[in-house]
Structure 1
Amino acid sequence: MQLLTIGINHHTAPVALRERVAFPLEAIEPALGGLRTLWAGRASLGAPEAAILSTCNRTELYCATDDRAPREAAIEWLAGYHGMDAAELAPHVYALPQSEAARHAFRVASGLDSMVLGETQILGQMKSAVRAASDAGALGTYLNQLFQRTFAVAKEVRATTAVGAQSVSMAAAAVRLAQRIFDTISNQRVLFIGAGEMIELCATHFAAQSPRELVVANRTAERGAKLAERFRGHSIPLSELPARMHEFDIIVSCTASTLPIIGLGAMERAVKARRRRPIFIVDLAVPRDIEPEVAKLPDVFLYTVDDLGAIVREGNASRQAAVAEAEAIIETRVQQFMQWLDARSVVPVIRHMHTQADALRRAELERAHKMLARGDDPAAVLEAMSLSLTNKLIHGPTHALNRASSDDRATLVELLGGVYRHAKPSEH
């Protein structure tokens, strides 16, 4: 079984491409079913294992398979699933086998591969991805072990290093950008579209600036109202957005919608109604909630999740010592995982040896029973059975020694010598 991670992220692909290969959480389980069905026809040793991690910064497939060309197969499947040409996707894809896959998983969960260094949200997203894979029946021995170790490493990194200390979050970066547009946020009306974890974080940061008004628009009215109440704001239904967008100076959107929430036409009308007053928009969703063409409108300042990256990275340099500590922890844990993986590679051989030895034992036992049934001397039967079983068990090694070349024979002699030196008769 080969371990492999393939994917694209904010390092290798722009948001325009990442949003095209994103998976809503509810789509992961059926998608995994299709992927495993495809690979099952190509595999020879058993059903492949797979998990999909999809966030605003990355879409990744974690796989354990004996497919001889897993990278090509995975890229073709990912592109085909999203109706893309594999040639368009391939230049942006990274493929990480074995220890590289483990190292990557450990770094991702620890927040070292995030746009926000040390951020904690990715760990929860990875756990959700693992639960989805488990519900789909797509996890097995290899990926289960990988992810359990991944979560343990993330916990160790966060407990023993300062990687996440004083990190600049996306929410904080959004506030900083808004402060560049407006003298003070306390005079502005702020609209949040969505009610998930990211919007909650943004609302916390903006509420700290005491905006003039704070409003939440969400598909589920009850959840939107509950979030707005926490920050002494109020909620509106999504259906009111086109008619009321012009009222807001700051809009922050992050939903799980697969289609834009705000289109160019609606924003053109809002800009006209605002009479050249600037409007600041942060789109943290992937796929994007705001049509990209909106950025071309006068007096509109639209920023995507990628645009916030530069501000976030400003605070990363001061934490490089903590990063080095985290990388050292991860490297040690990668080596331990690879030792486990290497040990697993001999399991099929050992299982085959047991099966073959048991077949020989059963055949000799059956022959002995027949000899006893016809009245042969029990001592003679036991002697004959032991001799025959011994000859059959050493036939393979003897045959290999006789047919081996001189170089191979020397190696076999050393190996078999070690094996039989440790094979002592039982004292019972």
Structure 2
Amino acid sequence: MQLLTIGINHHTAPVALRERVAFPLEQIKPALAAFKSLWVAGGSSAEPEAAILSTCNRTELYCAADDLSTREAAIDWLSSYHGMDAGELAPHVYTLPQSEAVRHAFRVASGLDSMVLGETQILGQMKTAVRTASEAGALGTYLNQLFQRTFSVAKEVRGTTAVGAQSVSMAAAAVRLAQRIFDKVSNQRVLFIGAGEMIELCATHFAAQEPRELVVANRTAERGAKLAERFRGHAMPLSELPARMHEFDIIVSCTASTLPIIGLGAVERAVKARRHRPIFMVDLAVPRDIEPEVAKLQDVFLYTVDDLGAVVREGHASRQAAVAQAETIIETRVQSFMQWLDARSVVPVIRHMHTQADALRRAEVERALKMLARGDDPAAVLEAMSQSLTNKLIHGPTHALNRASSSERSTLIELLGGVYRHDKPSSDH
């Protein structure tokens, strides 16, 4: 089996492209079935394995199959699934085979490939991706082993290095940017759209600044109210957003919507109602919640996840020693996994040897039973059976030695010596 990871992330593609190949959670299981069928249709002899990791910063497909040489086919599938032209997507896609795929998985889970160095959210997202793939029946021996080792490596890196120390999260970066626009966040009204993990993190950071008002708008009213209550704020129905947008100085949005929920016209009306007092907007969703044209409006300061990247990278240099330590750990664990993978490659050969040997055994036992049934001497039957079985078992190696060239024969003798361990008889008595 061959391992392969293909994908795009914040290093290779802008958010405008990433949002077009993102997979909503409810689409992942059917997408996995479609992706696996790519190799089944191509005549794959072994059951392929697959998992999809889709976050605001990356969309990646991890797979294992007996033939993963068709990079173009995988890119064609990804682009066609999302209704894109393959030529548009291909320049942004990375393809990582075998040990590169293993190394990449370890680095991603450890937070070394994140926009926020050392962040922990990606580990939970990867575990969700693995659980979803497992529920879809898309995991097997190889990817199961890869991800279990991935989680173990991530735990080791986070437990023995300072990669995550003093990291600046997206939420903290949003507060920093808000402080550049407004003298005091404490004088501002803040609206959070959504109630997921990222919004909860942002609400924690903004609440620490004690804003004038904190409001949560969410499709599920109960969940929004529960989150607002935690931060001494209040909730409002998402349907009221167009009419009340002008009330808020800071708007942070991160939902799972596949289409923008804040359009250009709505923001234009809000700016007019505010008499051109500035609005600070943060769109942490992929696909984006806020139409990108909003950024062109005067008095609107719109930031996406990519815009926040420069802020969160400011502290990376101070943690390079920890990164080097983490990379060393990862490299050692990659080598260990590849040794396991190499060992797995001989399993089909060993299984075939067992099948052949068992077939020979059964044939000889059947012949011996017939001889006993007709009254032959049991000792003679056992002797004949043992000789016949021995001859058949060593026929293959003997035939190979007789047909080998002189150089091949030397190699075979050395290998067979290790197999049969024909040590010289000891002179000790």
Q: TM-score, normalised by structure 2?
A: 0.97
Contact 2:171 2:202 in 1 (8 A): yes
Contact 2:4 2:68 in 1 (8 A): no
Task: Quote the residue 1:419 is aligned against.
Answer: 419
1:212 aligns with 2:212: yes
Q: Secondary structure at the match of 1:21?
A: coil
Task: Quote the residue 2:221 is aligned against.
Answer: 221
**Residue 179 (structure 1) shift:** 0.8
Task: Quote the residue 1:74 is aligned against.
Answer: 74
**Residue 43 (structure 1) shift:** 4.5
RMSD between superposed Cα atoms in Å: 1.3
C-alpha deviations, 1:332-389, integer Å up to 9, x for none?
1111111111111111100110001101111111111111111222112111111111
Name the amino acid aligned to 1:245.
Answer: M
Name the amino acid aligned to 1:223.
Answer: R
**Residue 405 (structure 1) shift:** 2.5
**CA distance, structure 2, for counterparts of residue 128 and residue 49 of structure 1:** 16
Q: Secondary structure at the match of 1:165?
A: coil
**CA distance, structure 1, for counterparts of residue 4 and residue 43 of structure 2:** 14
C-alpha deviations, 1:135-178, integer Å up to 9, x for none?
00111111111101110111111111111111000000000111
Runs of at least 4 residues off by over 4 Å: none
**Residue 407 (structure 1) shift:** 2.1
Q: Secondary structure at the match of 1:62?
A: strand
1:409–1:298 Cα change, 3 Å: same
1:22 aligns with 2:22: yes
Task: Quote the residue 1:123 is aligned against.
Answer: 123
Deviates more, 1:33-42 or 1:242-251: 33-42
Q: Could you tell me the percent identity over the aligned residues?
A: 88
Task: Quote the residue 1:394 is aligned against.
Answer: 394
**Residue 316 (structure 1) shift:** 0.8
Task: Quote the residue 2:163 is aligned against.
Answer: 163
**CA distance, structure 2, for counterparts of residue 153 and residue 319 of structure 1:** 19
**Residue 403 (structure 1) shift:** 2.0
**Residue 418 (structure 1) shift:** 1.2
1:179 aligns with 2:176: no
**Residue 423 (structure 1) shift:** 9.7
Runs of at least 5 residues in structure 2 that lack an aligned partner in the other structure? 425-429
Name the amino acid aligned to 1:407.
Answer: S
1:399–1:154 Cα change, 3 Å: same
**Residue 399 (structure 1) shift:** 1.6
**Residue 329 (structure 1) shift:** 0.8
**Residue 44 (structure 1) shift:** 3.5
Q: How does 1:324-343 map to 2 (within 5 A)?
A: 324-343=324-343
Name the amino acid aligned to 2:274.
Answer: R
Q: Secondary structure at the match of 1:308?
A: helix
Deviates more, 1:268-277 or 1:110-119: 268-277
Contact 1:42 1:67 in 2 (8 A): no
**CA distance, structure 1, for counterparts of residue 43 and residue 408 of structure 2:** 31
Q: Secondary structure at the match of 1:302?
A: strand
**CA distance, structure 2, for counterparts of residue 43 and residue 178 of structure 1:** 55
C-alpha deviations, 1:233-282, integer Å up to 9, x for none?
11111110111111111100000110101011111111111111111100
1:149–1:263 Cα change, 3 Å: same
Name the amino acid aligned to 1:367.
Answer: R
Contact 1:106 1:154 in 2 (8 A): yes
**CA distance, structure 2, for counterparts of residue 286 and residue 114 of structure 1:** 15
Q: TM-score, normalised by structure 1?
A: 0.97
1:347 aligns with 2:347: yes
